[in-house]
A and B are shown apart, each in its own frame.
Chain A
Amino acid sequence: MRSSPKSVAGLNWLLLAGVVGLAVVPLMVTRNGAFEGADTAATKTIEAMQPDYQPWVNPVLEPASGELESLLFAVQAGLGAGVIGYVLGRYQGRNAASRDKQN
């Protein structure tokens, strides 16, 4: 299955719009949601089901605040996105270079 470059670009924009839409719709539909992590909800369920359960280990390092945690998550996403951009950029450059040679 080969599509023209133009229709692929159009599809890519649609895909991105879909991802944004899927993130925005829950915020509008579930207005009174707490939007806490699903693992917090699971932890609460465990505590409700077995009130005497005590976690037997604590995390090695716990970010001191929500801001520091979100900083670390942003660093994680940034590093990953940088690598993806670098790899795709190299491939794109290679393609452009081989096209120039042919012309």
Chain B
Amino acid sequence: MFQIFRRFRLALLAGLGVYWVVGVAQPAQAMHIREGYLPPAWAIVWWVVYLPFLIWGFFALRRITRQFPEAKLLLALAGAFTFVLSALKLPSVTGSCSHPTGTGLGAILFGPGVMSVLGGLVLLFQALLLAHGGLTTLGANGFSMAVVGPLVACGVYQGVMGLSRRQRVAVFLAAALADLVTYVVTSLQLALAFPAVEGGIGAAFAKFATIFAITQVPLAVSEGLLTVLVWNWLQTYSRPELESLALLKEGA
């Protein structure tokens, strides 16, 4: 009797599984510029812009792992942080969803170069397996998320630290602004490729910015808060690494 019940339950589960897989098809919903949604010329332009930063990043990565092998664990953490955050699609006040980028933390710890590689890896994973972003648009998405975002994070962090020495405020602002600027750049990239018939690039930028950048505002705040959270943990448990990293950056 029990056996029959168990078989029945198994069949029910299998049936539901098949129904979910086959029956409920939804359009893929995500973020970044979709595969094929940049004209070939622009796709090439952004790849050409992104590549030098990627190469710079590989050299930075090699330098850090050689000079400071203990940092590998922290490097894994920085990569994992972008990995998690770009999987978290959060609702926003505009009534659509987007996800944070998580590139600020690694940029503050290791400098912007390293993130051009780690962020690019996250984008590659999502382009290949998740139909999220794309290979042709990876140059553009990589430039916005893995180059401009981390550069902004480093600039803001240094700037706030220079002015006030309040480290948590600096980390929060760096992470939040890196996140926000990523999508401002995305909007600009789309506006350049698809200028409006009336009003040109400016009008198109305003349109895309309302979609991407305004949606991103609360998410950027979330990313700032989460980055400070991880920062606090590192401050508590990983002081030696943080101290030698600061030395390493000054020495470089």
**Contact flag A79-B83 (CB < 8 Å), given A22-B222, A49-B196, A65-B24:** yes
Residue B155 CB within 8 A of the other chain = no
CB distance from A74 to the nearest CB of B (A): 8
Q: Which A residue's beta carbon lies closest to that of B193? A: A46
Tell me the total A-B contact number using a CB cutoff of 8 A. Answer: 231
Q: Are A55's CB and B93's CB within 8 A? A: no
> Which bucket holds chain B's interface residue count?
35 or more
- A43-55 interface bits toward B, Cβ cutoff 8 Å, 1 = contact, 0 = none: 1011001100101
Main secondary structure of the interface of A (DSSP, over half): helix
Which of B36, B166, B241 meets A55, CB within 8 Å? Answer: B36
Q: How many Å lie between the Cα of A66 and that of B125 in the bound state?
A: 18
Q: Which A residue's beta carbon lies closest to that of B20? A: A67
Interface size on A, residues (CB 8 A): 66
CB distance from A19 to the nearest CB of B (A): 5
CB distance from B210 to the nearest CB of A (A): 9
A residues engaging B (CB < 8 A)?
A: 1, 5, 8, 11-12, 15-16, 18-19, 22-23, 25-27, 29-30, 32-43, 45-46, 49-50, 53, 55-69, 72-74, 76-77, 79-84, 87-88, 90-92, 94-95
